Structure 1
Amino acid sequence: MPNVFVISDHHFGHKAIIDFESRPFTSVEDMTETMIEKWNAVVKPEDKVFHLGDFSFLNLEKTKAIVARLQGYKTLVLGNHDRGRSRSWWLEAGFDEVSEYPLVYGGFFFLSHEPMYMNKHMPYVNIHGHIHGQKYEGVQYVNVSVELWDYTPVSFESIKSKLVPNEEQ
């Protein structure tokens, strides 16, 4: 059975992000290769990945080359740095689906780039990126920026298991 993963904020080709976020890479090429390896170490070709934005700062040809190396069926929710390019640009780059807006997954999870307003009475969880190494307090927010997950897509099942404690038999 295919697994479902979420991740955000790779910033492929963005040299300055290494310093901005204290990423442990010696160069933008080192960052690219490491993040592709970590993606493919967990994602299989039949799996589905929701990328929650800020994927690449590179041109179409270079972005397409990276997307082609990443396993899985890839859905991109556009981030603030992706929105300067059209949906068709991202589809041509190799994403299977592209959304300009947050998605609702499993009837309970809001998948967005930026954190969404969630009051404590709402029975939903917002899985998001955008804020990199920062975290919002509370169980209603899960930040899947690469810095918090060792640059590796996180399985939806592991997120759910952290949110819903196992009931004892």
Structure 2
Amino acid sequence: MSRVFVISDHHFGHQKIIDFESRPFGSVEEMDEHMIEQWNSVVAKEDKVFHLGDFSFYNKEKTKAIVERLNGTKFLILGNHDRGRSKSWWLDAGFHEVSEYPILYQSFFILSHEPIYMNKHMPYVNIHGHIHSQKYEGQHYFNVSVEHWDYKPVSYEEIKSSLVASEEQ
């Protein structure tokens, strides 16, 4: 049975992100390889992965080579660093589907790159990236930036369990 995962903000090929986010890598090549290994350590070929943006700073050829090495069927919601390239560019790079906008998943989760404003009366949970190692307070937000998850995609089961646990506190 296939599982569903979510992750964001890999920034493949982005040397400066190592310093910006204090990532523990000596080079962009080391970072890229580690992130590919971490992805494939939890995602199987038949799984689905929603990537919530800022995937790669490489050209199409290098980006496609990375996408091909990653397990699972991959869906991309464009992040601020992805928007300079067309939807067809990302499809050609190997993503199964690409969305320019946030999507509602299972009628409860809003998947977006940037956190979306939510008042305390909204019943949704916003699964997002963009803010890297920062965190929004409250039960309405779930940050899946790679820095929080040891560079591994997070399963929906883990997200749901985490939300239930935080409600019980």
Scaled by the length of structure 2, the TM-score of the pair is 0.97
Aligned to 1:136: 136
| 1:26 alignment partner AA | G
| 1:29 alignment partner AA | E
Aligned to 1:14: 14
Quote the sequence identity (%).
77
Segments ≥4 residues shifted beyond 4 Å: none
Mapped to 1, the partners of 2:152 and 2:42 lie a distance apart of 8
Mapped to 1, the partners of 2:71 and 2:22 lie a distance apart of 27
1:66 partner SS: helix
2:14 partner SS: coil
Aligned to 2:51: 51
Report the alpha carbon displacement of residue 67 of structure 1 after superposing the two structures with TM: 0.2
Report the alpha carbon displacement of residue 71 of structure 1 after superposing the two structures with TM: 0.5
Aligned to 1:153: 153
Please tell me whether residue 107 in structure 1 is matched to residue 107 in structure 2: yes
Mapped to 2, the partners of 1:66 and 1:133 lie a distance apart of 23
Mapped to 2, the partners of 1:30 and 1:46 lie a distance apart of 27
Mapped to 2, the partners of 1:77 and 1:157 lie a distance apart of 20
Report the alpha carbon displacement of residue 47 of structure 1 after superposing the two structures with TM: 0.2
Mapped to 1, the partners of 2:165 and 2:38 lie a distance apart of 27
| 1:28 alignment partner AA | V
| 2:121 alignment partner AA | H
| 1:141 alignment partner AA | Y
Aligned positions, number: 168
Report the alpha carbon displacement of residue 165 of structure 1 after superposing the two structures with TM: 3.8
Report the alpha carbon displacement of residue 164 of structure 1 after superposing the two structures with TM: 1.6
Report the alpha carbon displacement of residue 119 of structure 1 after superposing the two structures with TM: 0.3
Aligned to 2:36: 36
Mapped to 1, the partners of 2:117 and 2:21 lie a distance apart of 24
Mapped to 1, the partners of 2:81 and 2:47 lie a distance apart of 25
| 1:32 alignment partner AA | D
Mapped to 1, the partners of 2:73 and 2:145 lie a distance apart of 19
Mapped to 1, the partners of 2:159 and 2:12 lie a distance apart of 24
1:24 partner SS: coil
Mapped to 2, the partners of 1:99 and 1:71 lie a distance apart of 20
| 1:103 alignment partner AA | I
Aligned to 2:63: 63
